[in-house]
Chain A
Amino acid sequence: MTAAIVEKGAQAPAPADGETPPPARRKARQRKLDDGPPRWQIYVPLGVYLLFTLIPFYWMLLFALRPSGSTSLVPWPMTGEHFEKVWTERSFGTYFLNSTQVGIASMVMTMAVALAGGYALARFRFRMKNVFMLALLCSQFIPGALMLVPLFETFRGLQLINSMWSVIIAETVFQLPLSMILISGFIKNVPESLEEAAWVDGCSRLRAFAAIVLPMLRPGLIAVGSFAFVHSWNHFLFALMFLSSQDKQTIPVGLNTLIGSDSVDLGALAAGGVVAAVPVVIIFAFIQKWLITGFSAGAVKG
């Protein structure tokens, strides 16, 4: 809107010297529009929201860093005993590595298949396309727990029980529908004429896709990929059910083992929570710009 006003202002008759400011009323209105609402109206709600959001994180850090038995509200004296315990005694080092493998593999597989499927949905018309889209959406209503036994039997038949591939495949399959729909939205935003220009220059469809469309999908791919990774990183059920060896378990399963039937080591639990949260926080800190761009781009067309 500001740009429109500036443009409108530019069309007004120019003052003789070209330096004279616009009339006072217009100037005040301009400043008001430029400044937006008073700052307190932004920072107070943001501050309250942040308080609610950050208190659980503070609680987690407090318990992770203060010694066992301490009731202090500040993590002082600080100790690393809980981190050492979860990382070595409770095998979080191994779990961390396993979660990373599952997260990266399912992210790569999700992105690869979602790109192909999303391209087909965006660029081709074919029979039953709408039914297919509907089926994709409907598949989102089926909870993972309901599919446990059929999936278990399928992986058992494929001899993939207690193999990381069972978790990677299950995570990929469950994330594909939404990822495909999102990616197809991003691809629809890329003008088809750009691809056609590449075809005129002799590119194959695949080459045109790789050279023209793919680079323009970066925000969307980052959004979809990060969600795939974070979902796999946090997901508990498939890892618990399909993996039995201790050295193949993932972080969420490890976290749950810190809660016993009758007792819980809150320090270790909080330290485990920090270990689980740090990669996700780092990923979001780095990609937030792309993430917002990606989702706003996908939101324009569906």
Chain B
Amino acid sequence: MTALPVAPAPTAPGPPPRKPRTIRPRDTPQPRPTNTQTETHDQERDSTMSGNNSRRPRARTLLALGISASLALTATACGGSGTETGSEGEGEGKIVFWDNNGGVRTEVWKKIITEFEKENPEIDVEYVGIPIADVQSKYDTAIQGGGDSLPDVGMVGTAYLANMVAQGALDPVGDRIEDSPLKGKLVNGMVESVKAAGGEKDQMFTVPTSANQGVLWYRKDMFDKADLPAPDTWENFYRAAEELTDRENNQFGFTIRGGAGSVAQALEMMYAQSGIESFWDGDRTTVNDPKNVEALEKYVALYNEYTPKADLNNDFTKMVATFTGGEVGMLQHNLGSYTDHVKAFGEERIGGLPMPPSSEGGPRTLVSNPVDGMGLFKSSGNKAAAWKFIEFAASAEMNSLWNESAGAIPAHTDAADDEWINKAEPTKAAMESLDDPNTKIVQLPYYLPDWNSISKADTEPNFQKLLLGRMTAEEFADDLAKRLNEAQVEWSEQKG
């Protein structure tokens, strides 16, 4: 702004000089225009009044449009086109590690890092804990921002692995595993899950570290008191849900997940009851198969009959809190909440069983749960050191330590017989059900880039409608199936 004087205010002298030219004190009279100027202004006013566009309003409109456009363009500006390719480095120096479940696992990771730094004093690992709910956004933002702020190593779940692979953020690790002590030591089922979730045929983009498994948690003391058998069959499960419910005394047989994460759990219940062995029948999903619809109907009928009404908004936190509150007999959740249940009730009062088989004595049908793994980032400038850390953390001893803390199933085959697994009954039962050759695993399509949005944002509101009776099980399943079929076709076309 240049400093040119403005017209002096008639009522006050105004502050001494140096006033900008383009601004003037409020309510200060304008310099009287010349006759020519007056005519021009009058003409402008007239033309405005007569409906023609005057110059000034048009300029304002254009400016407003310009500002709006620039804001919109800025807001929707695209990020970088991908990540930069890093280098192997010297195998020493500092590496950055992002934990996708920061806070909860911080303690065990710090132990592992301390051990690693003892063995490799030339490498310094910086630990960064990311809240699990936002880890995908954090990775995506860093990738879109060019990739140079990505870590060297990060924990990556299969639920969002395909998305990161598609953006070119991760290095394949299959060849590195072939040349390392990890070769042949990783649980085959987890390796297959990681390959399938990456969506790049047989390429592996993470080294699996752990898997989870859906479990029916139940209160042994409540079952004993009511003289009920453990919920090891669907008949026992539904009977217990009914008989443990005493609404007058605020006691319920079951707590259902009606909020965030509801659809994944519903799928687990549907396939386990129906016994349908595959998620796809050709290029059509089996989600809306009549057997699945029937199972879904039975499952949602529990709501507000044998569950609290407030379950409608249950995410896993509220659901686990409802269960550990002490007035609920059963809960369906994965192994990860084991420590919470033990803390609340003690080991002797809590039991955990894998999903019952669809028919008594028959094989179990389980849906694949997300497999956690360690990814090596393409942008890392110190891949040699980063790989050393991955190898160390995935070794039998460290993998066992980590999974004991997390209550999950270890990925290293040598960790499977460790003492803590034999002591943790639910973990042992889950591992046995996975190892059972008769068990059928339904692989959920984590490789679909739209899987998360379909199974969460798109259909979770529908699940609440279903619970409230505003939608039928068939309508819900058909809508979900339609979205999945479309996403599958789109994905197939992209892959050629």
Distance of A203 Cα from B340 Cα, bound (Å): 68
Q: Which residues of A contact B60 (CB under 8 A)?
A: 128, 130-131
User: Does any Cβ of B come within 8 Å of A69's Cβ?
Assistant: yes
In the assembled complex, how far is the CB of residue B431 from the closest CB belonging to chain A, in whole angstroms? 17
A264 touching B12 in the complex, CB below 8 Å, given contacts A125-B24, A162-B149: no
A260 touching B96 in the complex, CB below 8 Å, given contacts A123-B25, A148-B141: no
Whether the Cβ atoms of B144 and A149 lie closer than 8 Å is yes
Q: Which residues of A contact B335 (CB under 8 A)?
A: 262
In the assembled complex, how far is the CB of residue A47 from the closest CB belonging to chain B, in whole angstroms? 24
User: Which residues B333-385 have CB closer than 8 A to chain A?
Assistant: 333-340, 343-345
Q: Which residues of A contact B106 (CB under 8 A)?
A: 90, 257
Q: Which residues of A contact B78 (CB under 8 A)?
A: 149
Distance of A152 Cα from B137 Cα, bound (Å): 13
B-binding segment of A217-225, A239-247, A282-290: A239-247
B-binding segment of A8-16, A20-28, A105-113, A134-142: A134-142
A90 touching B103 in the complex, CB below 8 Å, given contacts A124-B25, A149-B78, A246-B129: yes
User: Which residues B85-115 have CB closer than 8 A to chain A?
Assistant: 96, 98, 101-107
A241 touching B104 in the complex, CB below 8 Å, given contacts A149-B79, A156-B148: no
Q: Which residues of B contact A135 (CB under 8 A)?
A: 64, 67, 71
User: Which residues B22-54 have CB closer than 8 A to chain A?
Assistant: 22-27
User: Does any Cβ of B come within 8 Å of A296's Cβ?
Assistant: no
Of the candidates B23, B129, B151, B334, the one whose C-beta lies within 8 Å of that of A125 is B23
User: Does any Cβ of A come within 8 Å of B63's Cβ?
Assistant: yes
Please name the residue on chain B nearest to A244 by beta carbon: B128
Whether the Cβ atoms of B71 and A261 lie closer than 8 Å is no
Q: Which residues of A contact B437 (CB under 8 A)?
A: none
In the assembled complex, how far is the CB of residue B138 from the closest CB belonging to chain A, in whole angstroms? 6
User: Does any Cβ of B come within 8 Å of A2's Cβ?
Assistant: no
User: Does any Cβ of B come within 8 Å of A30's Cβ?
Assistant: no
User: Does any Cβ of B come within 8 Å of A301's Cβ?
Assistant: no
In the assembled complex, how far is the CB of residue B273 from the closest CB belonging to chain A, in whole angstroms? 23
Of the candidates B71, B80, B134, the one whose C-beta lies within 8 Å of that of A153 is B80
User: Does any Cβ of B come within 8 Å of A71's Cβ?
Assistant: yes
User: Does any Cβ of A come within 8 Å of B145's Cβ?
Assistant: yes
Task: Indicate with 1 or 0, residue by residue over B111-130, a CB within 8 angstroms of chain A CB atoms.
Answer: 00000000000000011111
Q: Which residues of A contact B141 (CB under 8 A)?
A: 148-149, 152, 241
Of the candidates A89, A128, A202, the one whose C-beta lies within 8 Å of that of B107 is A89
Please name the residue on chain A nearest to B63 by beta carbon: A131
User: Does any Cβ of A come within 8 Å of B212's Cβ?
Assistant: yes
A-B contact count (CB 8 A): 170
Whether the Cβ atoms of A161 and B14 lie closer than 8 Å is no
User: Does any Cβ of A come within 8 Å of B160's Cβ?
Assistant: no
Whether the Cβ atoms of A142 and B13 lie closer than 8 Å is no
Whether the Cβ atoms of A120 and B23 lie closer than 8 Å is yes
User: Does any Cβ of A come within 8 Å of B282's Cβ?
Assistant: no
In the assembled complex, how far is the CB of residue A59 from the closest CB belonging to chain B, in whole angstroms? 10
User: Does any Cβ of B come within 8 Å of A32's Cβ?
Assistant: no
Whether the Cβ atoms of A131 and B23 lie closer than 8 Å is no
Whether the Cβ atoms of A263 and B336 lie closer than 8 Å is yes
User: Which residues A245-287 have CB closer than 8 A to chain B?
Assistant: 245-246, 253-254, 256-266
In the assembled complex, how far is the CB of residue B212 from the closest CB belonging to chain A, in whole angstroms? 7
Whether the Cβ atoms of A262 and B212 lie closer than 8 Å is yes
In the assembled complex, how far is the CB of residue B243 from the closest CB belonging to chain A, in whole angstroms? 22
Whether the Cβ atoms of A260 and B23 lie closer than 8 Å is no
Q: Which residues of A contact B130 (CB under 8 A)?
A: 240, 257
User: Does any Cβ of A come within 8 Å of B250's Cβ?
Assistant: no
Please name the residue on chain A nearest to B338 by beta carbon: A263
User: Does any Cβ of B come within 8 Å of A126's Cβ?
Assistant: yes
Distance of A75 Cα from B13 Cα, bound (Å): 68
Of the candidates A150, A246, A257, the one whose C-beta lies within 8 Å of that of B77 is A150
Interface size class of A (residues with CB under 8 A): 35 or more
User: Does any Cβ of A come within 8 Å of B146's Cβ?
Assistant: yes
Please name the residue on chain B nearest to A91 by beta carbon: B106
Please name the residue on chain B nearest to A256 by beta carbon: B131
User: Does any Cβ of B come within 8 Å of A196's Cβ?
Assistant: yes
Distance of A204 Cα from B18 Cα, bound (Å): 10
Whether the Cβ atoms of A240 and B16 lie closer than 8 Å is no
In the assembled complex, how far is the CB of residue B250 from the closest CB belonging to chain A, in whole angstroms? 13
Whether the Cβ atoms of A146 and B76 lie closer than 8 Å is yes
Q: Which residues of B contact A246 (CB under 8 A)?
A: 126-129
A124 touching B24 in the complex, CB below 8 Å, given contacts A69-B343, A147-B74: yes
Distance of A92 Cα from B266 Cα, bound (Å): 37
Distance of A125 Cα from B23 Cα, bound (Å): 6
User: Does any Cβ of B come within 8 Å of A199's Cβ?
Assistant: yes
Question: Which of B27, B78, B80, B145 gathers the greatest number of chain A CB atoms within 10 Å?
Answer: B145
Distance of A240 Cα from B139 Cα, bound (Å): 11
Distance of A77 Cα from B92 Cα, bound (Å): 51
In the assembled complex, how far is the CB of residue B147 from the closest CB belonging to chain A, in whole angstroms? 10
Whether the Cβ atoms of A245 and B128 lie closer than 8 Å is yes
Whether the Cβ atoms of A260 and B103 lie closer than 8 Å is yes
Distance of A71 Cα from B98 Cα, bound (Å): 35
Q: Which residues of A contact B325 (CB under 8 A)?
A: 71
Q: Which residues of B contact A120 (CB under 8 A)?
A: 23
Whether the Cβ atoms of B146 and A257 lie closer than 8 Å is no
User: Does any Cβ of B come within 8 Å of A39's Cβ?
Assistant: no
Distance of A256 Cα from B212 Cα, bound (Å): 22
User: Does any Cβ of A come within 8 Å of B320's Cβ?
Assistant: yes
Please name the residue on chain A nearest to B62 by beta carbon: A131
Q: Which residues of A contact B24 (CB under 8 A)?
A: 124-126
Task: Indicate with 1 or 0, residue by residue over A141-175, a CB within 8 angstroms of chain B CB atoms.
Answer: 01000111110110010000110000000000000
Distance of A90 Cα from B107 Cα, bound (Å): 9
Whether the Cβ atoms of B148 and A139 lie closer than 8 Å is no
User: Does any Cβ of A come within 8 Å of B489's Cβ?
Assistant: no
In the assembled complex, how far is the CB of residue B104 from the closest CB belonging to chain A, in whole angstroms? 3
User: Does any Cβ of A come within 8 Å of B166's Cβ?
Assistant: no
Whether the Cβ atoms of B138 and A152 lie closer than 8 Å is no
Of the candidates B77, B102, B326, B406, the one whose C-beta lies within 8 Å of that of A71 is B326
Q: Which residues of A contact B22 (CB under 8 A)?
A: 126-127
Between-chain CB contacts (< 8 Å), 22 pairs: A123-B25, A130-B60, A138-B67, A139-B71, A146-B76, A152-B145, A153-B145, A156-B149, A192-B27, A193-B12, A196-B12, A196-B14, A240-B134, A244-B96, A245-B128, A257-B102, A259-B103, A259-B104, A260-B103, A262-B316, A262-B333, A264-B340
- List the 8 closest pairs (A to B, CB-CB), nearest first: A262-B336, A257-B103, A260-B104, A256-B131, A196-B12, A205-B15, A152-B145, A124-B23
Give the interface of A toward B (CB within 8 A).
Answer: 68-69, 71, 89-90, 120, 122-128, 130-131, 134-135, 138-139, 142, 146-150, 152-153, 156, 161-162, 192-193, 196, 199-200, 202-205, 208, 240-241, 244-246, 253-254, 256-266
Give the interface of B toward A (CB within 8 A).
Answer: 9, 11-16, 22-27, 60, 63-64, 67-68, 71, 74-80, 96, 98, 101-107, 126-134, 137-138, 141-142, 144-146, 148-149, 151, 212, 316-317, 320-321, 325-326, 333-340, 343-345, 406-407
7 further interface pairs, Cβ-Cβ under 8 Å (given A149-B145, A161-B145, A246-B128) = A123-B25, A124-B23, A128-B60, A196-B14, A205-B15, A262-B334, A263-B337
